[in-house]
A = this chain, B = another copy of it.
């Protein structure tokens, strides 16, 4: 079905087997080269590039037309497929060229504001303003092609397992719990607003109450948050829910999906189950609930070895912990100073950095030599299993959690410096046993770490009354290369337990009823045990495509102010639109 009104073939189709065929191609002018009496035009479309040839000898006026073509002109070329005397091994059509008999300019083009090449001269802002030209670049379009392929594979996998894709509404009610909602004023119900879903969480739970058994949806979700590189106000989730399952059932299905995607998208076979790590271990050994396990460098806690020797900073610390950077013992003073600067940056906030290098022969030389004997330093060395030429980096502080977060940053930085974070290597992990709650100083109450519908571990339920902070949840995240690509939980299906949960979270009964009454009512009519997971599609695609930002796998992303600079949205409304909505904007 490639033949259409304007072409017989695409610019990626033709091979030596087509030699002698009369064809019509259409596409964009990538480049025009004049060589002697010949003119060569690279014609580009989504499928490839084909060389067009014009010769002054055989048709000088046609050749003159070709010479007038500008970059990005849209042209149609009729001609014969010929063997190329000087093949281009780098492109699949490189063995042939088209001896053009007729050339039609379908549309002209102004000179584009940046070059449409894999390596472009356009800066970020310019490329976002002219995103439609940026998307012409093969490197950018490939990301979107990968995204398409990925969603096709996701659907194929889930459909095979009996999951039904069900569209849930975009115009729902606002639930102030959690992140901020985007809201939509209702003209037919003046003064009232819909909200755009942060996720279809409650709706997919209702579908379980409805007996849908296995649900999924690839769906836009919305969060009105202050933005970072990795966040967009609208993002896409692969949202899934299952009934009559426990945690193991869900991990099996979605680990299977991850393996399926690795195989189909990246050609990587992952054998054996993904490793699992408790949330507590992830925090203790990596200072993060999404550890990058492409490399080791686990934290070693040194309080037992380094406290009580008169070094005041360590003696008074809540935690002393370090990492061992294999082979970095030769780091210069300057390199170590850079690392010290790195951890002292306000975003990280450490007070200083202690180092210890293992010299040839096993002796340990450190920045705290005057406080510790070589014997103690040898104990430190042993604690890491450090060897000659290794560099040990140690942080401490009066808040263990904060020190671990600082160590985490330092560890990732060392991973980068030592080339241990290869984008073509993938390390998958389940982080399990998340705490049920986290204490919010700001709100002065417990907040749900996952969300208020998460099921506590059966064995921890008695602690809901006595020690909520210690209660673990049937919640799990999938982490790949330090990126949380998805997460989920077993949900509460008992109305009584749900009510207790809202109580611990500080909801009055009235407030709980107002916000989640529809769900709690639904649970009165036979809710099955259920649970689920949501994968972040944008993150998955970024990971597979080796991108630094999810922005590059989104066709029309927004910038850090939530603006679409190409569409120039958001924008002021006509007064008549505001009037119809009975709204006014205050200063």
Contacts and interface: CB of A to CB of B under 8 A. Distances in A.
A587 B587 CA distance: 19
A126 to B, nearest CB: 13
Interface stretch (A14-22, A141-149, A331-339, A444-452): A141-149
A203 B556 contact: yes
Interface stretch (A480-488, A500-508, A572-580): A572-580
B210 A133 contact: yes
Interface in A199-238: 203, 206-207, 209-213, 220, 222, 224, 226, 233-234, 236
Contact of A28 (B130, B186, B211, B573): B211
A35 interface: no
B558 A46 contact: no
A383 interface: no
A585 B135 contact: no
Interface in A550-587: 554-556, 558, 561-564, 566-574, 577, 580-587
Nearest to A44: B211
A222 B170 contact: yes
- How many subunits of this chain does the assembly comprise? 2
A107 B525 CA distance: 8
Chain A interface size range: 35 or more
B220 A170 contact: yes
A316 interface: no
Contacts of A144: 164, 166, 212
A551 to B, nearest CB: 12
Nearest to A219: B220
Contacts of A457: none
B526 A73 contact: yes
A10 B562 CA distance: 46
Contacts of A171: 182, 222, 233-234, 558, 564, 569-570
A31 interface: no
B236 A167 contact: yes
A193 B573 contact: yes
Interface string A46-74: 11000000000000000000000000111
A110 interface: yes
Contacts of A566: 206, 518
A555 B166 contact: yes
Interface stretch (A243-251, A288-296, A396-404, A409-417): A243-251
A108 B526 contact: yes
Contacts of A161: 1
A211 B213 CA distance: 41
Given A141-B210, A213-B45, A213-B47, A191 B1 contact: no
Instruction: For the complex of A and B, list the 3 residue pairs with the smallest distance between their C-beta atoms, beginning with the closest.
Output: A5-B246, A109-B526, A173-B569
27 contacts: A5-B246, A6-B245, A44-B211, A107-B493, A108-B526, A109-B525, A133-B210, A135-B210, A145-B164, A168-B556, A169-B234, A170-B170, A171-B234, A171-B564, A174-B577, A176-B574, A180-B577, A182-B184, A183-B184, A183-B581, A185-B570, A193-B570, A206-B566, A207-B555, A583-B583, A583-B586, A584-B586
